[in-house]
A and B are shown apart, each in its own frame.
Chain A
Amino acid sequence: MRVVEVPRSLDYRTVESLHAAVGQGDQLPTLFDARRIEWIDPNGMLALLAAGTVAGMGGTLPRISLPERSEVLGYLNRMGFARAARGIFSPPPPGDGRRQSHRASDVLLEITPVTTNSDVHQVVDRVQSRAGAILAQTLRYPAHAVVRFSVILSEVCQNIIEHADAPGWVAAQAYNWSRRLGRHVAVIAVCDLGRGFSASLAEEHAQRFGGRWGDAAALEAAFLHGYTRFRDAGRGQGIQQIRRQVARWDGLLSIRSGTARIADAPAWSQSPRMLENLPAFPGAQINIVLPGLRDG
């Protein structure tokens, strides 16, 4: 039995330990020990689901020990973690599987599987009906921001369907980053276990990169140059438009695929433009952090 100790704080900066633990290709029965989690964000939750899925590819579903802190457990329930984890962990985490009430929480979007285009419509519909108040009151964004926010979600979810050729998840949440940033933020996480950017783009673009082709070059191609696997000039706009909108909101956007991660990092973030030689992990993870506007 392999025991994967889940970090106390699990967000986009610390998920690499999960990728490293399960991305080695062995097929040992696995236990994810998440008892000591004190903080987890949507990226952390989706990384847990992804790592659990990879760990179960050998045929034995992994086990998970849930956080001991009641507030963390309650938060996981509000985000629909138990429902999403069914079929990934055995036994499944306890939970009634019903969608939670969001009247008094800052859940922008609970963990939602993205498999078809109708899932994208559902995501946007939920966000339209729920996120406006949080974006306006908590992040102090103007009223029309919910439309821009919906467009971002739509484009990142379509990235799963059109390029991953595999299911994925999306989740979003607002937080108070009082110590880190002195402001509230909205975090959007998208994760899939598909073929990744390198495989998606290789047939169309690998040749022009020659020996440089790999995960980092593929991310540069898509992220910086707007290349896609389609020859149609109208394709490849999604990521470029997301970059522009996130930059307008002084946000952080990063995409991790294979062994590399690329980012548009604002001044408040320490994220480098490119990280290479990370633990190999299938698919892609997209992380967006949008800081709220300052008072006044």
Chain B
Amino acid sequence: MAESTPSPLGGSPAVASGGALTVDVGRLMSERLGLSQSDLITRPTGRAVREAIEACTADASGGSVALVELSGVRVMDFSCADEVVARLLLRGQDSSRSAMRYFIFRGREHLHGHAVAEVLSRRGLAAACAFGGRPFHPVGEVSDGQRAVWHALEERRSIALGDATTLLGPGGRARLVRICEMRLAHLGSGGQVTALSRVGRGGGDGAVRSPSSPDADSASRSRASRESLDLGRSPRRGAS
């Protein structure tokens, strides 16, 4: 059952479930920022949305991965994508600023994915994203080799650094370390690299779980919260 996460802003567009916290940006904009249309445009709007997301995730107790749900967003321009997505990642890398160190992004509109990819590439950043019904995959400044390692890690759930060359081939260890540095995977203190889909679940058999679409009622939200977000394989059920 999904549970609402208390937030300094009040209300509950942020929902924790399992090891993940989902922040529904469409609801956040309408319920907390009072915007009548969910258009992610202009830098001031982007700043307000990012700060609201940071407020939602600052007190999160559900783990260290946040799913930023953009399916309720109608238009997203590049300036706002930079303010929301790129800066969220930049600031999320600072552990003193945010307890939520990993962000993943999802949306229905593939054009939004294009904007996200552009702003991430410009800043040399990367994130796991699922737009337009595609499965989650690394977007932004990611090489083909790093992308392949990310998918292999998601398939295996976790890989010990010591096994990386054997499992991933020559250069696999360096790529594995690099995707951890890029916040596309989690490197534990014991040298165990955990796929994002397992982060917050202690590397066990749980998955990052997904609350529902922005306009779903609580019943469907509960149903959706039990849906596994297998980042490396399947697209989100019902995504268009």
Summarize A's interface: helix, strand, loop or mixed: helix
Give the residue of B45, B75, B86 whose beta carbon is less than 8 angstroms from that of A128. B75
Smallest beta-carbon distance A8→chain B, Å: 37
Residues of the A chain whose Cβ atoms lie less than 8 Å from the Cβ of B74: 128, 147
The reply to whether A234 and B75 form a contact with Cβ atoms under 8 Å apart is no
Q: Is A17 an interface residue when CB atoms closer than 8 A count as contact? A: no
B37 within 8 A of A: yes
Binary interface encoding of chain A residues 159-174 relative to chain B, with 1 for a CB under 8 A from any of its CBs, else 0: 0011000000000000
Verify B111–A147 contact, CB threshold 8 A: yes
- A16 contacts the other chain (CB 8 A): no
A161 to chain B, nearest CB (A): 8
A: contact size bracket: 20 to 34
Q: How far is the CA of A235 from the CA of B86 in the complex (A)?
A: 11
In whole angstroms, how far apart are the Cα atoms of A148 and B112 in the complex? Answer: 10
Q: Is the CB of A121 within 8 A of B111?
A: no
- Interface-facing stretch out of B4-12, B117-125, B152-160: B117-125
Question: How many inter-chain contacts with C-beta < 8 Å in the A-B complex?
Answer: 76
Q: Does B167 interact with chain A (Cβ within 8 Å)?
A: no
- Is B222 close to A, CB under 8 A? no
Q: Do A237 and B79 contact each other (CB < 8 Å), given the known contacts A147-B109, A148-B111?
A: yes
Q: For A161, list chain B residues within 8 Å (CB).
A: 42
In chain B, what residue has the closest Cβ to A122? B37
Contact status A144-B111, CB under 8 Å: yes
Cβ contact within 8 Å between A238 and B39: no
Q: How far is the CA of A161 from the CA of B118 in the complex (A)?
A: 23
Take A151-B77, A241-B118 as given contacts and tell me if A234 and B39 are in contact as well, using a CB distance cutoff of 8 Å: no
CB-based contact B118/A158 at 8 Å: no
Chain B residues within 8 Å of A150, by CB: 39, 41, 75, 77
User: Which residues from chain B contact A200 at a C-beta distance below 8 Å?
Assistant: none
Q: Which residue of B lies closest to A129 (CB)?
A: B37
Question: In chain B, what residue has the closest Cβ to A161?
Answer: B42
**CB-CB < 8 A to A121: which residues of B?**
35, 37, 39, 41-42, 45
Q: How many Å from the CB of B88 to the closest CB on chain A?
A: 12
Q: Determine whether A124 belongs to the interface, using a CB cutoff of 8 Å to chain B.
A: yes
B36, B37, B43, B123: which contacts A158 (Cβ < 8 A)? B43
Kindly state whether residue B87 has any CB partner on chain A within 8 Å.
yes
> Cβ of A124 and Cβ of B41 under 8 Å apart?
yes
Choice from B75, B111, B123 contacting A154 with Cβ under 8 Å: B75
3 smallest A-B Cβ distances: which pairs? A234-B82, A117-B42, A154-B77
> 14 extra interchain contacts, Cβ-Cβ under 8 A, other than A148-B111, A238-B77?
A121-B45, A124-B41, A125-B37, A147-B74, A147-B75, A151-B75, A151-B115, A155-B79, A161-B42, A162-B43, A233-B123, A234-B82, A235-B82, A237-B78
* Residues of B participating in the A interface, judged by any CB pair closer than 8 Å: 35-37, 39, 41-45, 74-79, 82-83, 86-87, 109, 111, 115, 118-119, 122-123
Q: Please give the residue numbers on chain A whose beta carbons come within 8 Å of chain B beta carbons, in ascending order.
A: 117, 120-121, 124-125, 128, 144, 147-148, 150-151, 154-155, 158, 161-162, 233-235, 237-238, 241
A-B contacts, 21 listed (Cβ < 8 Å):
A117-B42, A117-B45, A120-B41, A120-B42, A124-B37, A125-B36, A125-B39, A128-B74, A144-B109, A147-B74, A147-B109, A148-B111, A151-B115, A154-B41, A154-B79, A155-B77, A158-B43, A234-B86, A234-B123, A237-B78, A238-B79
